[in-house]
Amino acid sequence: MFHREGRVIILSTFFGVAAIVLAAHFFIIDPTIKLVVQVVSLVVLILILQFFRNPKRIANKNFDEIHAPVDGKVVVIERVKETEYFKDERQQVSIFMSPINVHVTRYPASGLIKYSKYHPGKYLVAWHPKASEENERTSVVIRTPKFGDILYRQIAGAMARRIVNYAEEGESVQQGEDSGFIKFGSRVDLFLPLDARIAVKLNQKVKGAITCIASVKEENEEG
């Protein structure tokens, strides 16, 4: 199953590869060069197909948990001041996606979209400290029953040149549902309340709609 954002690229690549393979078969005499051209073309098609794959994920919807919005590796867990929407301190969890990861963005929690904004910007490498504020990005705030407002931010990287965001203000969304796509390597930042219990560690690999990023702090943990 492939993501709808990849349809045009997949079809264009398929027909382009088919044309190259046929042209190589009929017009390249040297068998070694012919084989190399055909194999490289097929590898490109396979890479495009795997990049736009959209595996079916059945989320165990839970108001007490924030789930990973994307596949990737946790590269930041820290307390920061979020300056765009909250303008106060939050817990930031950042997930870096390499080109081989699934790049579908999924809603990390169920709730109501209170804010959704696109920001044009630079294309610094995704792990750069200033990428969250200076790169092309979208910021989405979901009002949840247990965590209050949470924010997730799709951030373009040095290779990513298009962010797709489906979230619209006033819309009710469900945890794990498709919320967008980022093309060719990037990261997603989550900004969570200070009292949320972080459930992941640095360098941990996570799966969108599956891995619990944070949970509601239990009463016996208060104080």
Residue 159 has φ and ψ, to the nearest 5°, of -95, -30
Name the catalytic one among 94, 116, 186, 215. Answer: 186
Closest CA to 89 of 194, 198, 188: 194
Closest CA to 132 of 184, 180, 185, 186: 186
Active site residue 186: yes
CB within 8 A of 139, min separation 6: which ones? 84, 85, 115, 116, 117, 119, 151, 152, 153
Q: Residue 85 class from Cβ within 10 Å (0-12 exposed, 13-18 middle, 19+ buried)?
A: middle
Q: What distance in Å separates the CA atoms of residue 121 and residue 161, rounded to the nearest whole number? A: 10
* Residue positions annotated with a catalytic role: 186
